[in-house]
Amino acid sequence: MERVRTKYGLEIVTYFPDRQAVETLLRQKGLYSFRESIDNRKECCRIRKVEPLGRALGPLNAWVTGLRREQSVTRTDVPKVAEDADHPPMVKINPIADWSEQQVKDYIALHKVPVNPLHAKNYPSIGCAPCTRPIEPGEDIRAGRWWWENPEHKECGLHRRP
């Protein structure tokens, strides 16, 4: 985040999950309840990711994501621009939806875009620490996310299928 702030001269506003909601979840269900069921995992994602994003998007009319169709079976039909069903009438813009992984790498190299150093350690898809692991050679790029679940369930709630 600091490298992005410095390179582009941006003010980056950060949002955090509601402390009380996290504490209540951990007290009631334990530290790793998200591995017990998809519903528990989505509850954790809702508290830690979806709700803070909702607050961040509140005053906006549109937002831009890095979703790409080839990333997973849950993203094959991602449109470039559409109304965000979770935040109507907000527009969700996915400018690199049709890019390949190689196109992303080429763009990063050409424009010297700062990237998370975990990418160089076999983390092509990065989420929360306990829900993300490095991938093994030959694995799908999202295999390190929620590796205990089937691919069709590997979304946190930030990006639901249209």
22-47 pLDDT, tens per residue?
999 999 999 999 999 989 999 999 99
Does residue 107 sit within a domain? no
Same domain for 55 and 68? no
| pLDDT for res 91 | 96
Same domain for 55 and 2? yes
The mean predicted confidence, pLDDT, of the chain is: 90
Q: Across residues 128-143, what is the average pLDDT?
A: 89
Active-site positions?
156
Same domain for 47 and 9? yes
Same domain for 6 and 53? yes
**pLDDT one-digit tens code per residue, 43-65:** 999 999 999 999 999 999 999 99
3-state secondary structure of 12: coil
pLDDT tier at 150 (50, 70, 90 boundaries)?
A: confident
Cβ-based burial of 88 (10 A; exposed 0-12, middle 13-18, buried ≥19): exposed
Same domain for 51 and 10? yes
Same domain for 1 and 53? yes
**Can you tell me the distance from the alpha carbon of 91 to that of 143, in angstroms, rounded to the nearest whole number?**
29
Check if the beta carbon of residue 91 is closer than 8 Å to that of residue 82.
yes
Q: Across residues 116-142, what is the average pLDDT?
A: 91
Same domain for 2 and 53? yes
Does residue 47 sit within a domain? yes
Burial letters for 30-47: b for 16+ Cβ neighbours within 10 Å, e otherwise? eeebbeeeeebbbbbbbb
Does residue 20 sit within a domain? yes
Does residue 105 sit within a domain? no
Same domain for 47 and 79? no
Decide which of 145 and 15 is more confident: 15
| pLDDT for res 127 | 87
CA angle, residues 159, 104, 12, in degrees to nearest 5: 60
The pTM (predicted TM-score) of the whole model is 0.83
Does residue 161 sit within a domain? no
Report the half-sphere exposure of 24 (CA within 13 A, side-chain side).
Answer: 8
Q: Residue 131 pLDDT more than 90?
A: no
Same domain for 32 and 13? yes
**pLDDT one-digit tens code per residue, 86-126:** 888 999 999 999 999 999 999 999 999 999 999 999 998 88
Same domain for 47 and 8? yes
Same domain for 46 and 73? no
Does residue 162 sit within a domain? no
| pLDDT for res 146 | 80
Which among 39, 93, 101, 49 is positioned nearest to 70, based on CA atoms?
Answer: 101
The parent domain of residue 15 ranges over: 1-59
| pLDDT for res 158 | 64
- 26 token code pair: 């951990």
* Residues near 57 by beta carbon (within 8 Å), at least 6 away in sequence: 63, 87, 90
Number of structural domains in the chain: 3
Does residue 13 sit within a domain? yes
> Cis before residue 89, ω within 30 degrees of 0?
yes
Same domain for 55 and 25? yes
At 145, give phi and psi (nearest 5°).
-100, 125
